[in-house]
Amino acid sequence: MPGSRTRRNPWWFLGAAVIFSLGSPLAGTAFAGPAVPAPAYAPPDSATLETAVLSGGCFWGMQGVYEHVKGVVHAYAGYTGGSAATAAYEAVSTGLTGHAESVRIVFNPQIVSYGEILHIYFAVATDPTELNYQGPDSGTQYRSEIWYGSAAQEETARRYMAQLTAAHVFPAPIVVRLAPAGAFYQAETYHQDFLVRHPDYPYIVINDLPKVRALQTLFPALYRVTPVTVLPLN
């Protein structure tokens, strides 16, 4: 694999996975699903593009999920929360830069709403109850955080988290942070489209492909078979 990662054994829950049918789209992973509908969010009538920045663990899986969502124009893997001087993989991996591995999603709000982007985030893209880690990945760089770009995005996210909490969708408290969007720095080229380009990589097979299958199963109307990628795949 290109580059090193600060993570525990990538086979960390293989024992748990065997209790599921390996043919199941949700094998080995628990998903909240669409238990609480997507929050209402109305973009400006003239809006043709909108941006969402989300952190929720390794950016390979986050990017891979949203590249399969209809209406997404681009989903970039990158870093946010720290300075330009430390926006590099080896530095971010120390957990000392303030950065979180993130995805910057540019989407057409006439096709997929910001509310639906959040619905997917909480349902399949991340576990919002894990503080400063996701699955086998530990450190503040793997925290779950919503970086809102407007007052409307902030209010939508706050309201939706309150709804999820009131509905007891998760067995533990939601620990997702909210912060105003700052500078986003694209990750190194070898990280872009990693799930699409390396579908057989063990970490991807165990941790991230189940998320894409869950997207297809739980959100069939929003699922696109052919992903939109940052890099050409020919």
**How would you write the pLDDT of the chain (234 residues) with one tens digit per residue?**
334 344 433 333 332 232 222 233 333 345 665 667 788 776 666 678 999 999 999 999 999 999 999 999 999 999 999 999 999 999 999 999 999 999 999 999 999 999 999 999 999 999 999 999 999 999 999 999 999 999 999 999 999 999 999 999 999 999 999 999 999 999 999 999 999 999 999 999 999 999 999 999 999 999 999 999 999 987
Q: Which residues are catalytic?
A: 58
In sign, the C-alpha dihedral spanning 220, 221, 227, 230 is: negative
Least Cα distance to 164 among 132, 126, 111 occurs for 126
Helices 209-218 and 59-66 pack at an angle, to 10 degrees, of 30
8-state DSSP, 23: T
Please indicate, yes or no, if residue 27 is contained in any of the structural domains: no
Please indicate, yes or no, if residue 9 is contained in any of the structural domains: no
**64, 224 Cβ separation under 8 angstroms:** no
The CA distances from residue 113 to 39, 70, 134, 222, in Å, are: 9, 10, 25, 11
Please indicate, yes or no, if residue 17 is contained in any of the structural domains: no
- Provide the domain count of the chain: 1
Instruction: Report pLDDT digits (tens) over 7-25.
Output: 433 333 332 232 222 233 3
Q: Are strands 177-180 and 144-148 parallel, antiparallel or unpaired?
A: parallel
Contacts of 84 (CB under 8 A, 6+ apart): 183, 185
Please indicate, yes or no, if residue 198 is contained in any of the structural domains: yes
CATH of the domain at 129: 3.30.1060.10
Output the pTM of the full model. 0.87
Please indicate, yes or no, if residue 102 is contained in any of the structural domains: yes
Least Cα distance to 93 among 32, 6, 164 occurs for 6
Please indicate, yes or no, if residue 204 is contained in any of the structural domains: yes
Instruction: Report pLDDT digits (tens) over 75-109.
Output: 999 999 999 999 999 999 999 999 999 999 999 99
Please indicate, yes or no, if residue 190 is contained in any of the structural domains: yes
Structural domain containing residue 196: 45-218
Query: In angstroms, rounded to a whole number, what is the distance separating the alpha carbons of residues 114 and 146?
Result: 12
The CA distances from residue 106 to 54, 158, 170, 200, 233, in Å, are: 11, 21, 28, 27, 19
**99, 86 Cβ separation under 8 angstroms:** yes
Please indicate, yes or no, if residue 31 is contained in any of the structural domains: no
Provide φ and ψ at 106, rounded to 5°. -100, 125
Q: In the prediction, which pLDDT does 9 show?
A: 36
